[in-house]
Amino acid sequence: MLLADLFWSFLKVGLFSFGGGMVSITLISQQVVTQKGWLTASTFNDPIAIAESTPGPIAVNAATFVGMQLAGLPGAIIATIAAILPGCAISLGLGLLYQRYRKLTLVQGMMDGLRPVVVATIFVGGLTIMRNALLIGGALELAAIDWLSVATFIVCFILARKTKLSSVCLIVGGGIVGGIIRLLLGL
């Protein structure tokens, strides 16, 4: 039953993850944390951190990690297939349709209508990650803020805006610096 639940949950994620990885984080959180309760809000950051720091799409990496955590190798395989199946089918179908009808005004209008929806969904995903990463236990109290994560976020944000450092360098560097500081402070 767990494998069927994994398949169905990540099939929905794959089916509705228009706009890329940040969009899928919101959907994965709804499935894995809110609806199924497989992970808590704070432990949800683990698969997202791993998915962000490994090559490949976030949804696929997160599906593989969650599937492995819950049901071992069969769970990882089932969740991964479920996450990519809709995208493959939809991309193939839309690619064929777009090639045929791309000059129609209706098609151009649909594409223009999708853009703000995708941006809004990405924004919500980013806020979800930020809330889960910066708050200990999800509480909205000043004492519950993880100040090391806040400082790491601010430094990495400034470095990303002011330098040409790649995202990979920022992710790896932030992980190393955060790990060292937590070891030194005993956190």
The string of pLDDT tens digits covering residues 16-65 is 877 667 778 888 888 888 899 998 887 888 778 877 777 778 888 888 98
pLDDT at 110: 84
pLDDT at 19: 66
pLDDT at 11: 93
Assigned domain for 182 exists: no
Assigned domain for 48 exists: yes
Region of residue 135 (phi > 0: left; psi between -120 and 50: alpha; otherwise: beta):
beta
Assigned domain for 155 exists: no
Assigned domain for 81 exists: yes
pLDDT at 80: 94
Assigned domain for 51 exists: yes
Total of domains in the chain:
1
| CA atoms of 90 and 96, how far apart (whole Å) | 10
pLDDT in tens, 132-159: 766 666 556 666 677 888 888 889 889 9
pLDDT at 144: 67
Assigned domain for 135 exists: no
Assigned domain for 15 exists: yes
The boundaries of the domain holding residue 76 are 2-103
Assigned domain for 12 exists: yes
pLDDT at 96: 92
| CA atoms of 165 and 83, how far apart (whole Å) | 31
| CA atoms of 118 and 53, how far apart (whole Å) | 23
Q: Nearest-5° angle of CA 60, CA 65, CA 68?
A: 120
The one-letter amino acid code at 33 reads V
